[in-house]
Amino acid sequence: MQPTPSWIESANDPAGGFPLDNLAMGVFSETDGRKRLGVAIGDFVLDLSRLEEEGLLALAGEPVMNRGAWNGVMALGPAKWDEMRARLRELLGEGAPHRPAVERALVRRAGIRLHLPFDVTEFTDFYAGRHHAENVGTMFRGPENALPPNWLHMPIGYNGRASSVIVSGTPVRRPWGQIKGRDFAAPILSPSRRFDFELEMGAVIGRPSRPGEPVPTEEAERMIFGYVLLNDWSARDIQAWEYQPLGPFQAKATATSISPWIVPRAALAPFRVPTPPREVPLLPYLAEPHPMGLDIALEVALVADGGEEVIISRTNARELYYSFPQQIAHHTLSGCPMRVGDLVGSGTISGPTRESRGSMLELSWGGAEPLELPGGITRSFLEDGDEVIFRGAAGGPDLAISFGECRGRVLPAIEKPFWME
């Protein structure tokens, strides 16, 4: 595929990641601090509030582009999303009308600050990557019991914390928690010693479902406004002590980082692929009428305490055993309503090789096989000062649809408050 030509030259760079075919959506501000909606195009962001003021973009009877989140646009529904996308492609494509007015609405991306792109209503994290589930299960239960009996029949998930979802670039402080090692007679209160990242993607729900009504996978797909990169930071030692019988709690509550750009569902439609072959048949409500997986190349870079950046993992979103529409269909099966602004995490996306594992837990095999980095540095889990960087893109050398980056640096735990003594 070749990029759709634009009169903005930098948008025609095949490797640039933000061509006219993408139109990734974010929230930005300049020196005045005022948040407004924009789309990435080449080296620029197009200020949609400016277009709206000029009368070049009108989706509703009132302004919706001068807000600090995309929820208002999402609430307008899929027909308006398509209308907005078609209008922006018209204004930014070759031979576009109103070019001088559009040029006035362009701001260089290098000089802006990016914010959380939408107000997160709820957050659900799934466990939809088979390689990750098998790796973790093998470490804790042995290869013969790696997958729980229900795993091949339905997407497993848990309700997370929307309040701790943060935008890329926000530092993450090492959490405190109860920890009980194998040789401990009782748990201790300590900062996490096995702090970790999880390479995930997130689906942003832009269309709600009705309470009490399950939705089929095809309708679930149409509920998705777009996708983000997602790092569900995890305290493995806290989780090991707390997760039975109800699953993760404090271990996953510290922070969930997402990329600042929402890549539209429409931009990724050409990159849909089948989900992996099924070992056992799924129940009919999880049937996929067409390919619903996504071919998105993903990578993880680690900057160890201010050193050089090292790529430590490369994998692909097509490794997910359950697609996002299947996850959403299962989420609504009980009648649970999805709301505008819900965030659905995929779970860790790992591949079949060590170099494609999506967490430090897997890369170091629980600490037994530490990663060796340049300069004689080793890592089993994340240390204070380490920075984790996720990148993702669909396409290839002729056309890249980029998610940008999802970054986070680990800060030391707070000093132990006196009342914890």
In this predicted model, what pLDDT tens digit does every residue of 227-274 receive, in sequence order?
999 999 999 999 999 998 888 999 999 999 999 999 999 999 999 999
Element (H, E) at 51: helix 48-53
When the candidates are 3.90.850.10, 3.50.50.60, 3.40.50.1700, 3.30.499.10, the CATH number that belongs to 123-415 is 3.90.850.10
Residue 37 sits at φ, ψ, to 5 deg, of -85, 145
* Measured distance CA(186)–CA(54) in Å, rounded: 66
Instruction: Count CA within 13 A, CB hemisphere, residue 137.
Output: 15
Q: What is the pLDDT of residue 48?
A: 98
The one catalytic residue among 132, 153, 290, 330 = 132
When the candidates are 2.30.30.230, 2.40.128.20, 2.40.70.10, 2.40.100.10, the CATH number that belongs to 9-115 is 2.30.30.230
Q: What is the pLDDT of residue 258?
A: 98
* Measured distance CA(165)–CA(275) in Å, rounded: 28
Does 132 participate in catalysis according to the annotation? yes
Evaluate whether 321 touches 275 at the Cβ level (below 8 Å). Answer: yes
Residue with token string 């501000």: 29
* Nearest CA-CA partner of 23 in 406, 399, 402: 402
In terms of Cβ atoms closer than 10 Å to its own Cβ (0-12, 13-18, 19+), residue 62 is: exposed
Q: What is the pLDDT of residue 419?
A: 86
Q: What is the pLDDT of residue 101?
A: 96
Per the rule left: phi > 0, alpha: psi between -120 and 50, beta: everything else, 17 is left
Where does CATH 3.90.850.10 sit in the chain?
A: 123-415
Q: Measure Cα distances from 235 to 196, 197, 363 in Å.
A: 6, 9, 15
Using DSSP's 3-state secondary structure scheme, residue 167 falls into strand
Whole-model pTM over 0.95: yes
Instruction: Count CA within 13 A, CB hemisphere, residue 323.
Output: 28
pLDDT in 10s for each residue of the chain, 421 residues: 788 999 999 999 999 999 999 999 999 999 999 999 999 999 999 999 999 999 999 999 899 999 999 999 999 999 999 999 999 999 999 999 999 999 999 999 999 999 999 999 999 999 999 999 999 999 989 999 999 999 999 999 999 999 999 999 999 999 999 999 888 999 999 999 999 999 999 999 999 999 999 999 999 999 999 999 999 999 999 999 999 888 899 999 999 999 999 999 999 999 999 999 998 999 999 999 999 999 999 999 999 988 999 999 999 999 999 999 999 999 999 999 999 999 999 999 999 999 999 999 999 999 999 999 999 999 999 999 999 999 999 999 899 999 999 999 999 999 988 888 7
Where does CATH 2.30.30.230 sit in the chain?
A: 9-115
In this predicted model, what pLDDT tens digit does every residue of 349-375 receive, in sequence order?
999 999 999 999 999 999 999 999 999
Tokens of 121: 């209503």
Per the rule left: phi > 0, alpha: psi between -120 and 50, beta: everything else, 335 is left
In this predicted model, what pLDDT tens digit does every residue of 113-157 receive, in sequence order?
999 999 999 999 999 999 999 999 999 899 999 999 999 999 999
Tokens of 285: 């409500």
